[in-house]
Amino acid sequence: MSTFSLAISKQAVAEMPAVVFDAPIMVVDTPELLDKALADLGKHTLVGFDTETKPSFKKGCLNKVALMQLSTDTHNYLIRLNKLGIPAPLREFLENPGITKIGLSVRDDFNVMRRTEPVEPKGFVELQSYVKRFHISDSSLQKIYAIVFGQRISKKQRLTNWEASSLTPQQQTYAALDSWACLHVYKHLESGRFDAAESPFRVVPELETNHDEK
């Protein structure tokens, strides 16, 4: 029986139209705004998740997670951990198994956070593992999104300063889009509307060479 996987090249991604993202974004940098964000997030059963860390260009120098992004269908919250830390209400949300949080490389995110905060995440779906059910072999969010939706997520802001006194509009859009994309990839695949067998990104392995051939 033949098998296949779905994969896409960087060049193919680059040629795709960019995602147009204009959903509401709230920068959460005070306890009052955090309470407001969590009140809304607590009403949802599915939430997109991501984090950003200020890049370090010195060997052995590791920065703390600076930003946590949480997205619903209608709102995107950028929680500035470099200003708020992880207070008890946020930790309770992350440890709530009743709310499904969808993210990419979740274990890595929490390994960094645990250096300073005792967080035990519950209710998380690792998107890299989940998409394998649909024959998707690529592991980056940009490539996964491109395979599923045929659009390109820009990564230009990835190595910017996430600990800056204020985040630029470009940083805000980039950060919110990543968590929003995790949520929407998951929902689309769960809906059953994605047909891997009909995808233009199918990669069929070459047939094994006949053993009699030299």
For 201-214, the pLDDT digits (tens) are: 999 776 444 444 43
Task: State the Cα–Cα distance between residues 124 and 103, nearest whole angstrom.
Answer: 7
In this prediction, residue 61 carries a pLDDT of 66
Q: What is the H or E stretch that residue 110 is in?
A: helix 106-113
Which strands make up the sheet holding 65-71, listed edge to edge? 25-28, 76-80, 65-71, 46-53, 100-103, 124-126
In this prediction, residue 43 carries a pLDDT of 96
Determine the average pLDDT of the residues in 80-103: 96
pLDDT confidence tier of residue 81, bands split at 50, 70 and 90: very high
Task: Give the 3-state secondary structure of 4-66.
Answer: CEECCCHHHHHCCCECCCCCCEEEECCHHHHHHHHHHHCCCCEEEEEEEECCCCCCCCCCCEE
Asked if the model's pLDDT at residue 46 lies above 70, the reply is yes
In this prediction, residue 55 carries a pLDDT of 84
CB 204 within 8 A of CB 2: yes
212/93: higher pLDDT? 93
For 54-77, the pLDDT digits (tens) are: 887 667 667 889 999 999 999 999
Determine the average pLDDT of the residues in 180-197: 97
pTM recorded for the entire structure? 0.90
